[in-house]
C-alpha cells in the first residue's frame, strides 16, 4: 500500500520579503564547470586519474548515493542522487569553485545560497559532532566562494524527518554556521510550525512560510485563521528570530483568497480579523458588495477555508488519485467510516479523517454519497468537457511545453514530460506503478475526459464483472491494464482545446438544474 503522505518536492517558487538587500560582493575568478567535475571525480587524495574507470574508483570515497524513497525499482537513470561527502577536504575546494563559476555564469547577483543537503535525505549518522562538521564544511565552501554568503535552508527536514532531527541534531546543524549566516525557511508554518517546538530554531533567523499546496493539485483548501495570525504570533513572540514571511507552494492559480491574504501579511503588524477582511476581499473581487456573496464567503470561511484536519492540501479525491488497492482490503476501513457517518447523519460530509491506511481526503462523504458521485462521474459524458476558464484546461499545459522545443525530438520529449508529470510520473514496472502516481493530479478539462474517466470506467467494469461472476478482484491484472493504459496516454499526441468557450453562469445553472433539482 502507498505511503499515507507523499513528501513534497522542492517548492517551485519562493517569495522572500523583509530581507535586507544583499551588499555587492567581489567577483571572483573561476575555473570552468569541467574543472569542477574533474576535481570532484579526482576524489579524496587530490589525485588526478586519467581513465574514466580510475576516476570512478578514486571518487568512490568522495561521494555516496542517496537512497531514494520514491522509486519502484531503483533504476539509477532517474534516482539515487550522488552526494559529495562534505567531510572530504576537497569538498570545500569544489564548493568554492562551484560558487565562483556560478558568479561567472550569472554575474554577481546574490549572497544568498540555497542548500538542502538533507532534504528528504537522512544523514549517515545522528552523531551531533558529525552533523556539525558537515554543516560547517558546507558554509565554509560557500563563504570561500563569496565572503558575504548566507546559507538559506528549507526547514522541511525537521518536519518530514522529525524522528531523526531531535534537539541535539537540530542544534548541531543550525549552530554549525555563524549566527546570521544561515536563514531557515519554516516551510510548512501554516500547518506545522517548527519555530514553536524548536525555541525559534534555537536562535537562528527564520522565515515564516506558507506551503499550502502540494503538486499543484486543484482543490478548495486553506486555513485563513492560521495565515491571518501565524506570522504575527511568530513575529511578536518572546525571543522571536523571525525575519520575514514567504510562500513556497508547489503550484498556484487556485484558491486566490489564500494567496491574497498571505501576500498582505508581509505588510501587516497586527492580526487580521478574517470575517471583516473577507467582506472587503469580496468587494474587491466582484466590484460591489452583496450580502448573499458575503454570506457565502462566511460559509467557506468556517468550512473549507478552516481546514484544520492537519491533512496537507494534496488532493486524494478518488477521481484524480485512484486507490490502487483491492476492494477486498477495504472492509475494516469502511466500517470505521460508516460509524462516523452514522454519528453525523444530518450532514453531507465531515471535515475529518477517519482512517489511517487509505488516502486522506479532507471531506468524508457517506459511502452512499461517494457511490452516487462516482456514478455521476462515470455518466457525466459531455459535462466533463464544459469549460469557462482557460486555467482549467489541459491544452495550454501541453502546448506551452511543446513550444519550448527546438527540434522534433525535443517536442516529443517535452510533450511526454508534460503528460507524465500530471499523471503517473515515471519509474513503473508492468505491475507496479510509480510511487508518485497522481502526485500532481489536476481537475482539468481534457484530463478528466481523456484520462481519469477511462481509468475509472476500467476499474468499475472490472469490479462489476467480478461481482457478477463471484470472483475476487484481480489486483495484478487491473494494474497491468491501467499502467499500460497510462503509458500509452503519456505517449499520445492528440490535441486539446487551449481556449475555454463556455459561459460560467450558464454552465453552473445547467449543472445545478441537472444534479440538484
Ligand atoms: C528568551 O531568552 C532568554 C535568554 O536566552 C531565556 O532565558 C528565556 O527563557 C527565553 N524566553 C522564551 C519564552 O523562550
Ligand atoms: C476552525 O476550526 C477550529 C478547530 O476545529 C475551531 O476551533 C475554530 O473555531 C474554527 N474557526 C472558524 C473560523 O470556523
Ligand atoms: C461466491 O464464492 C464464495 C467463495 O468463493 C462462495 O462461498 C459463495 O457461495 C459464492 N456465491 C455464489 C452466489 O455463488
431 lines ligand 2 (CB under 6 A): no
List, for residues 258-298, the tens digit of each pLDDT value: 999 999 999 999 999 999 999 999 999 999 999 999 999 99
Going by C-alpha positions, the residue among 206, 158, 200, 198 that lies closest to residue 182 is 206
Residue 41 CB contacts under 8 Å (≥ 6 apart), including other chains: 49, 55, 56, 58, 59
What local confidence, expressed as pLDDT, does residue 38 receive? 56
Q: Please name the residue whose Cα sits nearest to atom 5 of ligand 2.
A: 308
Q: Please name the residue whose Cα sits nearest to atom 7 of ligand 1.
A: 239
Q: Please name the residue whose Cα sits nearest to atom 13 of ligand 2.
A: 302
> Which ligand is closest to the CA of 352, given by its number?
2
Going by C-alpha positions, the residue among 135, 182, 186 that lies closest to residue 159 is 186
Which of 306, 309, 311, 350 has most ligand 2 atoms within 8 Å of CB, for mutation?
Answer: 306
Query: DSSP 3-state assignment of 313?
Result: strand
DSSP 16: E
> Which ligand is closest to the CA of 224, given by its number?
2
Going from the Cα of 469 to the center of ligand 3, the distance in angstroms, rounded, reads 9
- Mapping DSSP onto H, E and C, the string for 386-406 reads CCCCHHHECHHHHHHHHHCCC
What is the value of pTM for the model shown?
0.83
How far is the CA of 292 from the CAs of 278, 283, 353, in angstroms? Answer: 13, 12, 31
What local confidence, expressed as pLDDT, does residue 49 receive? 34
Beta strand segments in 167-238, E: 182-186, 206-210
- Mapping DSSP onto H, E and C, the string for 111-166 reads CEEECCCCCCCCCCCCCHHHHHHHHHHHHHHHHHHCCCCEEEEECHHHHHCCCCCC
What local confidence, expressed as pLDDT, does residue 196 receive? 96
Helices 408-422 and 475-490: crossing angle in degrees, nearest 10, is: 140
In a structure prediction context, what are the per-residue pLDDT tens digits for the chain, which is 517 residues long?
333 343 333 332 333 333 333 333 333 333 466 666 655 555 433 333 334 443 443 344 566 666 666 788 887 777 777 778 888 889 999 999 999 999 999 999 999 999 998 888 888 889 999 999 999 999 999 999 999 999 999 999 999 999 999 999 999 999 999 999 999 999 999 999 999 999 999 999 999 999 999 999 998 999 999 999 999 999 999 999 999 999 999 999 899 999 999 999 999 999 999 999 999 999 999 999 999 999 999 999 999 999 988 778 888 887 888 767 777 765 544 444 444 444 344 444 455 444 555 666 677 677 788 778 888 888 887 888 888 999 899 999 999 999 999 999 999 999 999 999 999 988 899 999 888 899 999 999 999 999 999 998 888 888 888 889 998 888 899 999 999 999 999 999 999 999 999 999 999 999 899 888 7
Domains of the chain: which residue ranges?
367-516
State the Cα–Cα distance between residues 43 and 265, nearest whole angstrom: 48
Which residues are registered as beta bridge partners of 84? 63
List, for residues 243-269, the tens digit of each pLDDT value: 999 999 999 989 999 999 999 999 999
Phi then psi dihedrals of residue 267, to 5 deg: -110, 5
Going by C-alpha positions, the residue among 129, 119, 201, 204 that lies closest to residue 172 is 129
What local confidence, expressed as pLDDT, does residue 55 receive? 43
How far is the CA of 139 from the CAs of 94, 259, 312, 461, in angstroms? Answer: 13, 33, 32, 58
Phi then psi dihedrals of residue 277, to 5 deg: -60, -35
What local confidence, expressed as pLDDT, does residue 322 receive? 76
State the Cα–Cα distance between residues 459 and 172, nearest whole angstrom: 50
Check whether domain 367-516 has CATH 1.20.120.670, yes or no: yes
Joined together, the cell numbers standing for residue 442 give: 489536476
Residue 237 CB contacts under 8 Å (≥ 6 apart), including other chains: 195, 200
Ligand 1 atom showing the smallest separation from residue 237 Cα: 13
Answer for the pair 384, 445: CB distance below 8 angstroms, yes or no. Answer: yes
Which value, in Å, is the radius of gyration of the alpha carbons in the chain?
Answer: 26
What local confidence, expressed as pLDDT, does residue 66 receive? 66
Going from the Cα of 467 to the center of ligand 3, the distance in angstroms, rounded, reads 10
Which residues are registered as beta bridge partners of 358? none
Amino acid at each position: 500500500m502507498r505511503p499515507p503522505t507523499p513528501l513534497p518536492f522542492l517548492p517551485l517558487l519562493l517569495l522572500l520579503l523583509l530581507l535586507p538587500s544583499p551588499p555587492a560582493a567581489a567577483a571572483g575568478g573561476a575555473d570552468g564547470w569541467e574543472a569542477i567535475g574533474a576535481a570532484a571525480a579526482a576524489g579524496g587524495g587530490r589525485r588526478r586519474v586519467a581513465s574514466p574507470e580510475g576516476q570512478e574508483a578514486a571518487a568512490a570515497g568522495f561521494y555516496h548515493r542517496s537512497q531514494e524513497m520514491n522509486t519502484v525499482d531503483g533504476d539509477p537513470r532517474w534516482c539515487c542522487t550522488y552526494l559529495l561527502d562534505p567531510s572530504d577536504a576537497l569538498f570545500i575546494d569544489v564548493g568554492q569553485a562551484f560558487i565562483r563559476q556560478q558568479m561567472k555564469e550569472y554575474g554577481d547577483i546574490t549572497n544568498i545560497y540555497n542548500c538542502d543537503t538533507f532534504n528528504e535525505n537522512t544523514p549517515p549518522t545522528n552523531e551531533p559532532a558529525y552533523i556539525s562538521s558537515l554543516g560547517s564544511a558546507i558554509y565554509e565552501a560557500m563563504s570561500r566562494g563569496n565572503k558575504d554568503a548566507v546559507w538559506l535552508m528549507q526547514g522541511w527536514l525537521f518536519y518530514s524527518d522529525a524522528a531523526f532531527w531531535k534537539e541535539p541534531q537540530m542544534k548541531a546543524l543550525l549552530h554549525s554556521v555563524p549566527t546570521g549566516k544561515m536563514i531557515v525557511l519554516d516551510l510548512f508554518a501554516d500547518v506545522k510550525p517548527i519555530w514553536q517546538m524548536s525555541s525559534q530554531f534555537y536562535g537562528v533567523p527564520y522565515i515564516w512560510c506558507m506551503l499550502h499546496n502540494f503538486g499543484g493539485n486543484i482543490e478548495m483548501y486553506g486555513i485563513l485563521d492560521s495565515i491571518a495570525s501565524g506570522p504575527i504570533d511568530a513575529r511578536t513572540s518572546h525571543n522571536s528570530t523571525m525575519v520575514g514571511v514567504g510562500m513556497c507552494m508547489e503550484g498556484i492559480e487556485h484558491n486566490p483568497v489564500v494567496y491574497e491574504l498571505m501576500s498582505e501579511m508581509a505588510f501587516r503588524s497586527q492580526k487580521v480579523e478574517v470575517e471583516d477582511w473577507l467582506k472587503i476581499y469580496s468587494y474587491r473581487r466582484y466590484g460591489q458588495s452583496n450580502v448573499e456573496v458575503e454570506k457565502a464567503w462566511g460559509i467557506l470561511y468556517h468550512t473549507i477555508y478552516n481546514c484544520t484536519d492537519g491533512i496537507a492540501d494534496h488532493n486524494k479525491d478518488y477521481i484524480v488519485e485512484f486507490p490502487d488497492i483491492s476492494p477486498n482490503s477495504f472492509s475494516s476501513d469502511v466500517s470505521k467510516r460508516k460509524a462516523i457517518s452514522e454519528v453525523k447523519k444530518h450532514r453531507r460530509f465531515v471535515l475529518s479523517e477517519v482512517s489511517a491506511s487509505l488516502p486522506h481526503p479532507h471531506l468524508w462523504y457517506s459511502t452512499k454519497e461517494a457511490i452516487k458521485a462516482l456514478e455521476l462521474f462515470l455518466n457525466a459524458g459531455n459535462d466533463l468537457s464544459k469549460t469557462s476558464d482557460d486555467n482549467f484546461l489541459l491544452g495550454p499545459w501541453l502546448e506551452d511545453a511543446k513550444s519550448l522545443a527546438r527540434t522534433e525530438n525535443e517536442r516529443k520529449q517535452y510533450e511526454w514530460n508534460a503528460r507524465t508529470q500530471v499523471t503517473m510520473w515515471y519509474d513503473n514496472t508492468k505491475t507496479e506503478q510509480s510511487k508518485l502516481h497522481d502526485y500532481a493530479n489536476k481537475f482539468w478539462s481534457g484530463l478528466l475526459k481523456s484520462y481519469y474517466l477511462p481509468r475509472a470506467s476500467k476499474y468499475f467494469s472490472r469490479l462489476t464483472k467480478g461481482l457478477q461472476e463471484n470472483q475476487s478482484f484481480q489486483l495484478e491484472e487491473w494494474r497491468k491494464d491501467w499502467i499500460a493504459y497510462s503509458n500509452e496516454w503519456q505517449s499520445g499526441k492528440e490535441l486539446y482545446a487551449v481556449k475555454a468557450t463556455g459561459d460560467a453562469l450558464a454552465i453552473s445553472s445547467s449543472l445545478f438544474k441537472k444534479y440538484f433539482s
